[in-house]
Amino acid sequence: MLDLALLGLLEDGELHGYELRRRLRTQFGFLTNVSFGSIYPALGKLEAAGAVETVEAATSGPPAPPSGSLSGEWAALRARRRASARGRRSKKVYRITAVGRAHFLDLLSDPTADDPRSFALRLAFARHLPPDARLALLERRRAQLVQRLTETPPDGGRLDAYARSVIEHTTEGVEQDIDWLDRLIEAERATVGLSAAPVQRA
């Protein structure tokens, strides 16, 4: 989960841990409250695995987005000078590697992750997937939700009002998710149909 999120964010820009956390909080409504205690170890693991590498500051690689933060770049420069001069620590900016990109795609296409948060995250990064994998992701999720609906107890009679309300509300939520997925699937099919010969799939 976290690996996926971090790699995804790093896919479009070099970032440091603190900023990664901020983006998780702001850009994704789900996946709030990820704590530093998770992020830094995760980044460490990813670095050890060669999926990301640290860069001293945004100097090389893809044209660093100027983003109008002159003060930020000055700060980075100063930090770097300090860092080399006194060996002190500073911001650790991470960049995704080729290995990391491959790993990211693996995580993104992995069909054995069915929890809602993981799905939301994957869909949010779906632009990195080829169209057919995108479609597969949506349809897999849809099938899961449909099955959950069928598994929902047909009883509900002997529960009190509170429990019943919870169950009904949950069920409604699932139904709306399915509708939403249907719209997405339709849109996806349309674009697939446009860009290539129509593929027949369930």
Partner DNA sequence: GCATCCATGTAACCAGTTACATGATTTG
Partner DNA sequence: CAAATCATGTAACTGGTTACATGGATGC
Interface residue list for a copy of itself (CB under 8 A): 25-30, 32, 120, 123-127, 148, 151-153, 159-163, 165-167, 169-174, 176-177, 180, 184
DSSP 198: P
Tokens of 81: 């000078």
Residue of the chain from 23, 56, 64, 90 that contacts DNA (CB under 7 A): 90
Whether residue 49 contacts residue 102, with contact meaning beta carbons closer than 8 Å, is answered with no
Strands 93-96 and 52-55: antiparallel
User: Is position 61 an interface residue for DNA (rule: CB under 7 A)?
Assistant: no
Residue of the chain from 12, 25, 30, 36 that contacts DNA (CB under 7 A): 36
Backbone angles phi, psi at 54, to 5 degrees: -95, 145
User: Is position 171 an interface residue for DNA (rule: CB under 7 A)?
Assistant: no
Contact string (CB under 7 A) for DNA, positions 127-166, x = contact:
----------------------------------------
Residue 102 binding: pick among DNA, a copy of itself, none (C-beta 5-8 Å cut-off by kind): none
User: Is position 3 an interface residue for DNA (rule: CB under 7 A)?
Assistant: yes
Nearer to DNA, 46 or 178 (CB): 46
User: Within the chain, where are the H helices?
Assistant: 2-11, 17-27, 36-48, 70-86, 98-109, 116-124, 131-151, 161-195
Nearer to a copy of itself, 86 or 127 (CB): 127
110/159 Cα distance (integer angstroms): 38
Nearer to DNA, 72 or 193 (CB): 72
Nearer to a copy of itself, 37 or 153 (CB): 153
Q: Judged by CB under 7 A, which stretch of 34-42, 126-134, 161-169, 187-195 contacts DNA?
A: 34-42
155/170 Cα distance (integer angstroms): 15
118/184 Cα distance (integer angstroms): 17
What are the C-alpha distances in Å from 98 to residues 5, 7, 95? 17, 11, 10
Residues near DNA (CB under 7 A):
1-3, 16-19, 33-38, 40-44, 71, 75, 78-79, 82, 88-93
